[in-house]
Chain A
């Protein structure tokens, strides 16, 4: 497998940085797969699709579109009606379901942890089923607890003592226990609150960078699909595949009205997330240190604004001329005087989208740029972002 092509190389989102030494294990092929339930409803209709090994493929669509059914047919939690599904060339129907499932990681909504087993024993489930012996299975479980970023002490707890986000991490660890090449994830993050969900998504991408699994991920949330997917399969009601493409292509060239509607109104804006912001030129900022006097701060104002940094040069917020005018000269600059800053633009990983957002969300209309370590790097304006976008278009880097 090669890296993504140059067109979309700028991973605006924090994409996994794949190693090149991945083995190409875990190719999943759907060949004319149809699922018709007993009541006659067709959940999946003649699905042809190949899931790339070592990548994240997201199945997304409205409810009743057959995305979950498609996922569950891979490990035979649901048996298909006609067609075939091959995992690494082998028809899944040739395998005994329990044995097949032990070789495929499975993560579901609300984690589905076993309430009567400790966290460690939950993770050790599949190794024990596979006959590893308890001691070896436990040792593996301890490793995995660390892999998913949970403290070792948590291994002795029971699932009911964990938060939703922690439970979901344990669910992922359980799925990884015997290091299966394929991971099936069925709306794993939809039951946790948005902040935790974002953390789990980032964590999944970080893990995937290390592990390079073939992940099939089901969600109804197009933003989640675009954030996580190397490829996204959009399903429409009735189990029909509407489009199967990279997120950037999906946003730039939706196949039809259904996909256009589904990816949403602000897709042009979201597409900026796939463009690197490497070519942006930053303006200079003269920062004021926390603890400086108000007199010094007044000197630093430009167009009525100054950015304030802490002792490590990390930005803390903005000072305005208005705000300073009502304060005594000898006072020091502290948190009470600051106006909250907007989002920060990370010059190493950020996309055009995050640069634009930094500019738009800043009270001074100047976006604050930081380097990879969070140290103040300069300012960015919305005009500059649009100029860079225009340059990218003429250079043919943006799909028209």
Chain B
């Protein structure tokens, strides 16, 4: 076990340039940036297709192809085409994050009960109001599921930024590999794993706040169920 912890608990690794806090912030920065871009692109697409119920087949197909796209292939290709910098890893991570977000938004919105949507139109909501006040809030559990799954994959994969000369926790993995320094490599991997678990916990908490209590599974508090 010493192999795993000797590097990790060495105080000199926890400060200064290239220290763990700095790498952690970089890692989170790549994750947040890629996730934000993926949401901006993927969410409206999924929501629109889910709302209009048109083009679902194309959207699901596109999501599946994107899912199969090898992230490292995209990363290296973009580096060769656009040069070293923030663009290649963010592009690769964004492409990784779009499918779950897009599919989650689509699946969530198109699965909102037709009677509920009918009622929303029937009481006089405009299409916009139907989407924003009824469909999106009701689709929140699946929308959020998509975002969580995307976040998890991006945190795990943001390691690859270090492969093309950037920072993040992947730095330790690749530096350790190059220097035959297994404790450093393992330490980086453990940090990524811990970060992934923390991100998952935080997002689960946020989901509790964002999703209406009315959408939680019912633990019969009076009243019969359909």
Q: Do chains A and B touch in the complex (CB under 8 A)?
A: yes
- B116 with A113: CB separation less than 8 A: yes
- B120 with A160: CB separation less than 8 A: no
Q: List A38-64 residues whose CB lies under 8 Å from chain B.
A: none
- CB of A8 within 8 Å of the partner chain: no
- A166 with B223: CB separation less than 8 A: yes
Interface size on B, residues (CB 8 A): 28
Within 8 Å by CB of B121, from A101, A113, A163, lies: A101
- A106 with B212: CB separation less than 8 A: no
- B120 with A99: CB separation less than 8 A: no
Residues of A within 8 A of B205 (CB): none
- A101 with B123: CB separation less than 8 A: yes
- A163 with B138: CB separation less than 8 A: no
- A77 with B118: CB separation less than 8 A: yes
B64 to chain A, nearest CB (A): 30
Known contacts: A112-B115, A114-B138, A117-B214. The answer to whether A162 contacts B223 by CB under 8 A is: yes
- A158 with B122: CB separation less than 8 A: no
- A158 with B214: CB separation less than 8 A: yes
Q: What residue in chain A is nearest B137 (Cβ atoms)?
A: A116
- CB of B11 within 8 Å of the partner chain: no
Within 8 Å by CB of B124, from A99, A111, A160, A166, lies: A99
Within 8 Å by CB of B123, from A161, A164, A166, A174, lies: A174
Contact indicator per residue, chain B 108-126, by CB within 8 Å of chain A (1) or not (0): 0000010110111111111
Interface centre among B113, B124, B140, B223 (most CB of A within 10 A): B124
- A114 with B119: CB separation less than 8 A: yes
Known contacts: A100-B124, A129-B124. The answer to whether A112 contacts B116 by CB under 8 A is: yes
Within 8 Å by CB of A116, from B123, B214, B225, lies: B214
Known contacts: A114-B116, A160-B225. The answer to whether A98 contacts B218 by CB under 8 A is: no
- CB of B193 within 8 Å of the partner chain: no
Residues of A within 8 A of B226 (CB): 110, 164, 191
Q: Could you list 23 A-B pairs, sorted by A, with CB under 8 Å?
A: A98-B121, A99-B124, A101-B122, A102-B124, A103-B124, A108-B122, A110-B226, A112-B113, A113-B116, A113-B119, A114-B134, A115-B215, A116-B140, A116-B212, A118-B214, A125-B123, A158-B212, A158-B214, A160-B214, A160-B225, A161-B218, A171-B119, A174-B123
Interface of B toward A, CB cutoff 8 Å = 113, 115-116, 118-126, 129, 134, 137-138, 140, 212-215, 218, 221-226
Interface of A toward B, CB cutoff 8 Å = 75, 77, 97-103, 106, 108-118, 125-126, 129, 157-164, 166, 171, 174-175, 184, 191
